[in-house]
Amino acid sequence: MENERISGGFSERRIARWAGSRAERRSDCIAEEVPVAMHYNGRSFAVMMATPQDLEDFAIGFSLSEGLVRSIDQLHGVDVHRRLEGIELAMTVSPEAPAARIERTAERLLPGRSGCGMCGMSELEKAVRQPAPLRCRGTFSAAALKRALRELPEHQPMNAATGAVHAAAWADAGGRILLAREDVGRHNALDKLIGAMWHAGIVPEDGMLLITSRASYEMVGKAATVGIGCIAAISAPTTLALELARSAGVCLDAFARPEVFNVYTHEDRLLD
C-alpha cells in the first residue's frame, strides 16, 4: 500500500474582518471537512467527518485502533475513491479479520461527527471497549516529555493557518517528535498518526503520544489498543479515560504544558 498525502488541508476564503468601526477585506484560511466513508470488503461501516489528508494513514489507523483488524497483515489493501458527496476508503481485509464479519446490525447507524468517536453505536457494550493490559510497561523521562511539548506547536501547520484542527504527535524516548498528524476531529488525527507510525515502522511502546485535545475514553482506548503506553493531553481527562488508562497500564498525563502537567495514572512510569 502506498501512502497518499494531500497537501494543504485548508482553503482560502475572502472575508470581511471588522476591527473597531471599520471592515477590512482579507483572506482567511478555513480547515477542510468532508465525509469519509469506511468500507470493508464492500460493506459500509462508518462515515467520519474528517480533513481529506493522509487518507491511507487514516484507514490503517482506524482499522487498528477500532479492533477491525487484529494485525496489519489482515488489511490487504486500501483504495481511495473520490465521490461527489465525499471520499470512500475501500478496504480489503482477510476472512479472519473482525471487519470481515461486520453484520448489518453492527454498523454505525449515524455518521461519525468530527468531534465524536462513537456516534451511532447501537449498543452500550460496543460503545466502551476495554483494551487488553499492555505487555510492555517501560518508563519515560519527564524531561523528554517537556521537550516534546515545547516542540509540538512546530508540528501544527494546519492549526497555525486555521486555528480549527487537532493534532496527534509521536515523540521518541528522547522527546524528539518524529511524526504528527492533524485533523478537524481529534480521533481522526490519532488514527492518522497510528497509520503513519505503521508506515514508518515505529514500535508504539517505544515513545510518547501527545494530543491537543482532552483525554477522553475513546482516545485512551484507541492508543492502548495499539500498545501506546504514555499519553500527554493538552486538556483535561475524563473519569472513564482514567479507569481505562489505569487498567490498561497507560501513564496518562493531562493539562500538559512544557513546564507543568498532571500525572493521573501510573506515575511510577514517568521518571525525573
- The answer on 144 and 122 residing in a single domain is no
- The answer on 159 and 102 residing in a single domain is no
- The answer on 66 and 149 residing in a single domain is no
- The answer on 220 and 151 residing in a single domain is yes
- The answer on 210 and 117 residing in a single domain is no
pLDDT at 3: 41
pLDDT at 103: 73
Residue 13 burial (CB count, 10 A): 10
Residue 116 annotated in active site: yes
- The answer on 148 and 110 residing in a single domain is no
CATH classification at residue 203 = 3.40.140.10
- The answer on 196 and 116 residing in a single domain is no
Does residue 132 sit within a domain? no
Q: Which residue is catalytic, options 116, 119, 230, 251?
A: 116
Q: Please state the separation of Cα 28 from the chain's center in Å.
A: 26
- The answer on 114 and 161 residing in a single domain is no
CATH classification at residue 70 = 3.10.20.10
Residue range of the domain that includes 160: 140-271
Q: How many domains does the chain have?
A: 2
4-51 pLDDT, tens digit per residue, is 433 478 888 888 888 888 889 889 899 999 999 999 999 999 999 999
Contact assessment for residue 182 and residue 161, using Cβ atoms and an 8 Å cutoff: no
**Residues of the chain predicted below pLDDT 70:** 1-7, 104-129
- The answer on 113 and 43 residing in a single domain is yes
Terminal Cα distance for the chain, rounded: 41
